[in-house]
Amino acid sequence: MKRLILGKTLLESYKNLQRIINSIDRLVVESSAHSYSLTQVSEDTMEKMQAVIDLIERKKRLLGLKMMIEEGLKQCSPLEAKILVRYYFDRVSTVSMAEELGMIRRNVHRKLNTSIIVFVQKLAVAGYDRKTIVDLIANEDWIVGIYNKYVDKFKHKDEKLDYLVSTRKSGLSKYVNAPSSDLGRRMIKNSTHHQVGREAKGGLLF
């Protein structure tokens, strides 16, 4: 069940990653244009510079997450990858997919779930175990929200990531505490809300 929840979360979040990365790029350009002065470096300028650094670090994590998901899909069989892409990225229902593949809906649903598990297994083989993945998503509240909603659906409340983040002794503190500046937090929060909107917050596909 842990693999299924983690896989669903990653695949559901994928469609928003590039949009947030693009938003971060715009914020970095805008912030950089207003942050640097040839005559003096004020406290406000230093805060804005730190915010830019925070944004760049966040972009690196999101890019890493995006590339990891793509690598996992590449390692799946053509049918497994097709089912996952059609369902999570193209938003095709299992009913429509059953017609496309010449299968009954129940079998498509089963194949969907087994493909998700295979996807997570392939990630583990590639070096992305559960801890590594949690480290990547721990500071992304919108992804944690998706994860926790799946946990609620499957009634595994002890697996919520807010619990893991608050109790894990190592591996997450560098992300839980970042970004270091209040301005960076505000900029990152605003960029996420504008790009993800209600769709990502809603989280569940079924």
Residue 10 CB-half CA count within 13 A: 30
pTM: 0.72
The tally of domains found in the chain comes to 1
Query: Does the residue 206 lie in any domain?
Result: no
- List the domain range (segments joined by +) for residue 196: 2-201
pLDDT at residue 193, rounded to an integer: 45
pLDDT in tens, the chain (206 residues): 889 999 999 999 999 999 999 999 988 887 766 555 444 555 666 677 788 888 899 999 999 999 999 999 999 999 999 999 999 999 999 999 999 999 999 999 999 999 999 999 999 999 999 888 988 898 899 999 999 999 988 875 555 665 444 444 333 333 333 333 444 444 445 444 444 443 333 332 22
Which residues 6+ apart lie within 8 Å of 123 measured at CB?
68, 71, 72, 75, 129, 133
Cα distances (angstroms) measured from residue 190 to each of 64, 116, 156, 196: 21, 31, 31, 10
pLDDT at residue 172, rounded to an integer: 35
Cα angle 63, 65, 70; round to 5: 95
pLDDT at residue 141, rounded to an integer: 93
